[in-house]
């Protein structure tokens, strides 16, 4: 009987805590993250490159800031995963490849005046964060 009472108490308490945990959405490494944007546009530029066949490639480089100040634990290692909205190409960058909180993502063969977007998210030891879309217009 004593074990039954203890089991009921444990089940009751764990149910309360589960509800509280389910409501948390402040961890950027959770898919349900609802805090400030982890990724924002820092700057962008167009670079003209000469192809071997003589044609010109307009490479649009978007510099995106990773807001690590929103991490719950400082100095957390992470991976940034990005999907290019223009062509579906993907990239993965380790946190030690992120210099001064900025990543550079590029799209080739762009058009002046067109909008280009990257869908980016954090991952960390199996945790996958919510996606954040960053867009800007190639206006050069």
DSSP string, 72-120: SSTT---EEEEEETTT--EEEEEGGG-BTTEEEEEESS--TTEEEEEEE
Alpha carbons 137 and 111: distance in angstroms, whole number: 9
Q: Which domains does the chain have, with CATH numbers?
A: 25-138 (2.60.40)
pLDDT digits (tens, 9 = 90+) for 41-98: 999 999 999 999 999 999 999 999 999 999 999 999 999 999 999 999 999 999 999 9
Q: What is the pTM of this model?
A: 0.80
Is residue 41 a contact partner of residue 101, using CB atoms and an 8 Å limit? no
Alpha carbons 95 and 79: distance in angstroms, whole number: 6
How does residue 23 score in pLDDT terms, banded at 50, 70 and 90? low
């Amino acid at each position: 009987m004593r074990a039954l009472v203890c089991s009921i108490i444990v089940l009751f308490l764990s149910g309360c805590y589960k509800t509280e945990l389910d409501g948390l959405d402040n961890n950027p490494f959770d898919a349900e993250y609802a805090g400030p944007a982890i990724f924002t546009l820092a700057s962008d530029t167009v670079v003209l490159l000469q192809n071997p066949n003589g044609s010109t490639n307009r490479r649009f480089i978007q510099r995106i800031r990773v807001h690590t100040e929103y991490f719950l634990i400082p100095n957390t290692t992470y991976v940034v995963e990005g999907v290019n909205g223009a062509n579906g190409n993907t990239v993965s960058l380790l946190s030690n490849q992120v210099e001064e909180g900025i990543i550079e993502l590029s799209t080739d063969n762009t058009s002046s005046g067109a909008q280009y977007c990257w869908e980016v998210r954090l991952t960390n030891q199996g945790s996958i964060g919510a996606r954040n879309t960053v867009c800007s217009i190639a206006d050069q």
